[in-house]
């Protein structure tokens, strides 16, 4: 396998990870702004603004799992999808660094209410480590701080991986979005300050060596919980092997319930939007239902009368032999349609978040993941 184009690592809880590359991708930035932005018009854009009236925003509800291309920030990606759908609301569930590719779940409309459930889910990454150099950002964007001529064998790497599996202590990278006295760690590091971050527990569910394309690179797959830093994994493995290392390629293949089968490349999404605009298809075909994010939560069907009470924010008494005897969070449906997130306790169903799915929603064919 050829080594993939160098990328920066993504850290699940970072705000744009190490912050690298934000201003280095003008084509992607222009793409995210659209073709009629006055910043891209040498004449100031006044004429274009008159010729291209602003499109009305509409209610769109569901998930788009974008296969984010290298060179686009998560913020720009959300802006592009929001514009393509003319959606009123949009957000993402887990930042993906500009130089990384893969799954970026984008929530539209009422799906934004389910973002925390995706953020708290497992993530899976496929990443390449370059041996022989440690860098201050723990990826290719940084300054070299340590070097070594030693190249690790596959046997030595595999023997070490159990130390990085399970519940472990991990020190976040200096270039991370963790706040220290109100300042982002990466801002302090860029200003030349020494950033001292404390180790903290993270969970690595699975870590495996996939292949070694050459003596200087190794490809890994990792499945981890919230708060894990992939860059720190590469750094710490390199240190224990005595050869140093940093991330040089990264792809996210799983975020919560969303895997590679759910992803749609940007070019394909744009083509679908063009067909929909000409009446040859529907944008609903690109959406996954809002409740897809709630796969790990039990569902509870209620009557229309009880649904009306829940919709008004009122609790519903659970009685009869069909009443659930459990407690905790459920998502409530009526006639097969998502209604609310609710809590069961003391014989009552108490609504916490009510959904209003009026507008464009996922087509019937996407109600089950392929």
Active site residues: 97
Rounded Cα gap, residues 255 and 118, in angstroms: 7
Q: Which residues contact 245 (CB under 8 A, 6 or more apart)?
A: 129, 130, 131, 132, 133, 134, 234, 235, 237, 238
Token representation of residue 77: 């990606």
Rounded Cα gap, residues 83 and 31, in angstroms: 10
Q: Are 273 and 81 in contact (CB under 8 A)?
A: no
Name the helix (H) or strand (E) containing 190: helix 185-190
Rounded Cα gap, residues 318 and 325, in angstroms: 9
Rounded Cα gap, residues 31 and 355, in angstroms: 32
Strands (E), 118-158: 123-131, 133-135, 144-147
The label of the residue with tokens 């760690």 reads 185
The label of the residue with tokens 């595999």 reads 158
Backbone angles phi, psi at 106, to 5 degrees: -115, 120
Q: Three-class SS of residue 269?
A: helix
């Amino acid at each position: 396998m050829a080594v993939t184009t160098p990328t920066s690592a993504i850290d699940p809880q970072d705000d744009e990870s190490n912050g690298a590359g934000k201003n280095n991708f003008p084509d992607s930035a222009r793409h995210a702004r659209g073709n009629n932005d006055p910043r891209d018009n040498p004449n100031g854009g006044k004429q274009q603004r008159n010729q291209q009236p602003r499109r009305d925003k509409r209610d769109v509800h569901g998930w788009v799992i974008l296969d984010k291309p290298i060179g686009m920030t998560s913020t720009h990606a959300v802006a592009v999808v929001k514009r393509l759908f003319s959606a009123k609301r949009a957000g993402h569930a887990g930042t993906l660094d500009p130089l990384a590719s893969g799954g970026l779940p984008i929530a539209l409309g009422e799906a934004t209410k389910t973002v925390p459930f995706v953020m708290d889910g497992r993530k899976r990454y496929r990443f390449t480590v370059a041996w022989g150099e440690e860098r201050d950002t723990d990826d290719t964007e940084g300054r070299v701080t340590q070097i070594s001529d030693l190249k690790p064998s596959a046997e030595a790497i595999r023997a070490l991986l159990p130390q990085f599996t399970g519940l472990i202590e991990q020190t976040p990278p200096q270039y991370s979005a963790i706040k220290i006295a109100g300042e982002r760690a990466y801002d302090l590091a860029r200003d030349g300050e020494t950033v001292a971050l404390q180790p903290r527990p993270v969970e690595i569910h699975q870590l495996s060596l996939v292949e070694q394309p050459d003596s200087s690179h190794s490809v890994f797959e990792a499945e981890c919980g919230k708060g894990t830093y992939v860059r720190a994994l590469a750094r710490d493995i390199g240190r224990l092997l005595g050869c140093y290392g940093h991330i040089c390629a990264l792809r996210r293949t799983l975020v919560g319930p969303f895997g590679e089968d759910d992803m749609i490349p940007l070019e394909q999404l744009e083509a679908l939007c063009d067909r929909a605009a000409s009446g040859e298809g529907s944008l609903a075909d690109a959406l996954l239902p809002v409740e897809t994010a709630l796969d790990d939560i039990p569902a509870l069907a209620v009557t229309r009368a009880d649904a009306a009470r829940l919709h008004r924010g009122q609790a519903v008494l659970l009685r009869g032999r069909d009443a659930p005897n459990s407690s905790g969070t459920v998502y409530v449906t009526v006639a097969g349609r998502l209604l609310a997130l609710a809590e069961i306790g003391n014989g009552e169903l108490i609504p916490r978040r009510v959904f209003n799915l009026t507008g464009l929603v996922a087509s019937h064919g996407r109600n089950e993941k392929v």
